[in-house]
Amino acid sequence: MKLTEAQRADFDTEGYLFLPEVFSPAEAALLRAEADRVYQLDREEVWRESSGTARTAFAAQTYNEAFRRLGRHPRLVDPVMQLLDGPVYLHQYKVNAKAAFDGEVWQWHQDYGTWARDDGMPEPRAMNIAVFLDEVTAANGPLLFIPRSHKQGVLPAGHDLETTSYPLWTLDRATITRLAEAGGVVAPTGPAGSVLMFHCNLVHASPANISPFGRTIVYLSLCHVENHIRQFKRAEWIAHRDFTAIDCLADDCLLELTTAAAE
């Protein structure tokens, strides 16, 4: 999958790009079922909310075949290589849940702020590309973006170790207010199988999910191979240390699994 020049320009200006229904309903359903399997595992990579429901499963590509294939899918890797102008490696892989009624907040932050401070990533030559495994609506805890906030560079942040189960470098209210007054706040929504790309400096968050409808999103954090991390404070399953360029699989690699399951 290749981005058009207009899409690349939109990404540069706004800091994100929403691509509806990149994956078929069958592919999304397969991944959604595999997410449920992963969340049931008793592994250190699977983090939970205070309620006990799953919050995020790190490095699922290392212990689940469907997510391994997704991590090497050309529909995800090729457009990121376009935007980063070269080969990329997998810095982080997360299967994030917002469980019905119990999905907690992700505070306002920039991902590169964490990657720079905790992992020693030299430059913001990295980004996120996400796949919706459920329909994401205004009600079930969508991502919130402040458009064009990536143009601000790395902003001052504090290390929040208390709000949720996951430590995060977060932005204060005054900063968020200033940015939102200038750029507004958007919440991209759409059906399962849709893809969302966003710059590693784009300020974002997500609210708690108090609706009866859960939502799951898979995030690949991809980094240019020349920009690999230099610091190893965090566990390898959080910040990966294999800087090998991703070698993509065939476009139908997920459909092969759906066919095998049907047989």
Question: Is residue 157 a part of any domain in this protein?
Answer: yes
205: phi then psi, degrees, rounded to nearest 5: -165, 180
- Return mean pLDDT, the chain: 93
Question: Is residue 257 a part of any domain in this protein?
Answer: yes
Q: What is the CATH number of the domain that holds 36?
A: 2.60.120.620
Q: How confident is the model at residue 157 (pLDDT cuts 50, 70, 90)?
A: confident
Question: Is residue 14 a part of any domain in this protein?
Answer: no
Q: Which domain holds residue 161?
A: 21-262
Tens digit of pLDDT for each residue in 54-93? Answer: 889 999 999 999 999 999 999 999 999 999 999 999 999 9
Helix (H) or strand (E) run with residue 80 in it: helix 74-84
| Strand-pair category, 204-206 with 126-132 | unpaired
Q: How confident is the model at residue 105 (pLDDT cuts 50, 70, 90)?
A: confident
Starting at the edge strand that comes first in sequence, how are the strands of the sheet with 204-206 ordered? 144-145, 204-206, 106-109, 168-170, 158-160
Q: Which is nearest to 207 in space by CA: 106, 122, 127, 130?
A: 106
Question: Is residue 9 a part of any domain in this protein?
Answer: no
3 state SS for 164-209: CCCCEEECCHHHHHHHHHHHCCECCCECCCCEEEEECCCCEEECCE
In this prediction, residue 55 carries a pLDDT of 86
Question: Is residue 16 a part of any domain in this protein?
Answer: no
Q: How confident is the model at residue 161 (pLDDT cuts 50, 70, 90)?
A: low
In this prediction, residue 163 carries a pLDDT of 63
Question: Cα separation of 203 and 124, whole Å?
Answer: 13
What is the total count of domains within the chain? Answer: 1
Question: Is residue 181 a part of any domain in this protein?
Answer: yes
Question: Is residue 178 a part of any domain in this protein?
Answer: yes
Tens digit of pLDDT for each residue in 194-249? Answer: 999 999 999 999 999 999 999 999 999 999 999 999 999 999 999 999 999 999 99
Question: Is residue 55 a part of any domain in this protein?
Answer: yes
Instruction: Yes or no: say if 136 and 189 are a contact pair by the CB < 8 Å rule.
Output: yes
